[in-house]
């Protein structure tokens, strides 16, 4: 990745839609989300844990964490999404949801050591300052607490956040953009970062966080399943097998598991 890995995405492109500025939230709970939830539970038992979903969107994961027995809370910078997230809690009568708050990742309105787990699911690429956000994550985590994040992989063959071309936003999965030199990639995608393998060690350097696991995940392919379950199963079978070998490096997202130091250095 370019040296701008901690710099903010362009904050105010004219006419910038929410899909570019914030990413698309999970509108419904599908197999891809269920798989990521299972991945999270490989590292942390959710029952009776206090969990923050940073960048929660419509709160699909907040409610899923609560269904697993967690005391879950969500933050986002889009107040309209938070309103709908709360409405969905009321509609589904989900217990264990502690609420939703408007907050930026760089300035979380919580006391030190408030959470056992902080999750950032395809969120850190959108924040103004990713290192400042991780510093806040470290602050609100209890000693020994865990942060699990998913974030765009620079080697994935498609840019999923769309691009800006001649001043116009083009939404969709655009091939090979992330393989361009950083200066060119960032001109096409000024609204979202993509990360290289070595970026995480640099981002947590000097923070009371250490990497306990780093892997990659491929998509859930739910859109393919909507057209052909057999094709989706075939694609999933290959890609999920690839997650266990060298082809993992071309996965959709980094899976990074961070642990809060027990004692500050």
91-122 pLDDT, tens digit each = 888 899 999 999 999 999 999 999 999 999 99
pLDDT at residue number 3: 40
- The pairing of strands 209-217 and 253-260 is antiparallel
pLDDT at residue number 14: 45
Max Cα-Cα span within the chain: 53
Q: Average of pLDDT values for 247-265?
A: 93
Q: Which residue has the higher pLDDT, 140 or 14?
A: 140
SS (H, E, C) 43-85: HCCCCCCEEEEECCCCCHHHHHHHHCCCEEEEEECCHHHHHHH
3-class secondary-structure state, position 224:
helix
Q: Which residue has the higher pLDDT, 213 or 28?
A: 213
Q: Provide the whole-model pTM.
A: 0.90
Mean pLDDT for all residues in the chain: 91
Tell me which CATH code domain 18-260 carries.
Answer: 3.40.50.150
Give the whole-angstrom CA distance, residue 158 versus residue 160.
6
pLDDT at residue number 12: 45
pLDDT at residue number 1: 39
Percentage, residues of the chain above pLDDT 90: 83
From the centroid of its chain, how far is CA 163?
19
Give the whole-angstrom CA distance, residue 257 versus residue 46.
15
pLDDT tops 50 at residue 164? yes
- Laid out side by side, the sheet with 141-152 consists of 97-102, 71-76, 50-54, 115-121, 141-152, 253-260, 209-217
pLDDT at residue number 17: 62
pLDDT in tens, 59-72: 999 999 999 999 99
Give the containing element (helix H, strand E) for 253: strand 253-260
Q: Average of pLDDT values for 66-79?
A: 96
C-beta neighbour count of 36 within 10 angstroms: 22
Q: Which residue has the higher pLDDT, 149 or 90?
A: 149
pLDDT in tens, 2-48: 444 455 564 444 456 666 666 666 667 789 999 999 999 999 999 99
pLDDT at residue number 94: 87
């Amino acid at each position: 990745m370019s040296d701008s890995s901690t710099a903010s995405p362009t904050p105010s492109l004219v006419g910038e839609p929410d899909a570019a500025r914030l990413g698309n939230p999970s509108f419904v709970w599908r197999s891809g989300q269920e798989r990521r939830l299972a991945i999270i539970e490989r590292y942390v038992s959710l029952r009776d844990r206090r969990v923050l979903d940073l960048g929660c969107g419509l709160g699909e994961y907040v409610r899923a964490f609560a269904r697993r027995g967690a005391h879950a809370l969500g933050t986002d910078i889009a107040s309209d999404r938070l309103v709908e997230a709360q409405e969905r809690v009321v509609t589904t009568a989900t217990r264990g949801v502690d609420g939703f708050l408007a907050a930026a990742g760089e300035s979380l309105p919580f006391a030190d050591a408030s959470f056992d787990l902080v999750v950032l699911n395809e969120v850190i690429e959108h924040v103004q300052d990713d290192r400042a956000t991780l510093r806040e994550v470290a602050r609100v985590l209890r000693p020994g607490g865990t942060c699990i994040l998913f974030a765009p992989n620079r080697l994935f063959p498609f840019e999923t956040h769309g691009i800006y071309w001649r001043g116009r936003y083009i939404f969709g999965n655009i091939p090979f953009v992330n393989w361009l030199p950083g200066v060119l990639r960032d001109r096409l995608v000024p609204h979202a970062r993509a990360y290289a393998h070595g970026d995480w060690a640099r981002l947590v350097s000097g923070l009371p966080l250490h990497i306990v696991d780093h892997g990659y995940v491929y998509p859930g392919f739910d859109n393919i399943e909507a057209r052909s379950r057999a094709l989706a199963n075939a694609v999933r079978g290959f890609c999920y097998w690839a997650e266990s070998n060298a082809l993992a490096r071309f996965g959709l997202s980094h899976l990074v598991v961070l642990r809060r130091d027990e004692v500050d250095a």
